Amino acid sequence: MFDQSLYVTRRKSLRTQVGSGLVLFLGNEESPMNYADNTYHFRQDSTFLYYVGLDAAGLAAVWTSTRARTRSTATI
């Protein structure tokens, strides 16, 4: 959506607040309305979009951080 550096900056800010640990960002799925063949227009979870910037259904991102090293992974 925006330049990748914006999301990197946001995650660095979160890392400062969290310190070390595990952060899980869950994106949204397509949502059925009344029956499985009728779906709402997809809208990504706001927090996922804010930190990851990917607007597709079925995504999750896991971020692990220690004082010495940070690692991020996005999965489909």
5-49 residue pLDDT tens: 999 899 889 888 888 888 899 999 887 777 777 767 788 999 999
CATH number of the domain to which 65 belongs: 3.40.350.10
Would you tell me how many other CB atoms lie within 10 Å of the CB of residue 27? Answer: 22
50-66 residue pLDDT tens: 999 999 999 999 888 77
How many folded domains does the chain comprise? 1
- What pTM was estimated for this model as a whole? 0.74
Instruction: Write down the pLDDT at residue 67.
Output: 66
Instruction: Write down the pLDDT at residue 50.
Output: 94
Residue 74 has pLDDT above 60, yes or no: no
Instruction: Provide CB contacts within 8 A for 4, sequence distance 6+.
Output: 53
Range of the domain at 56: 4-75
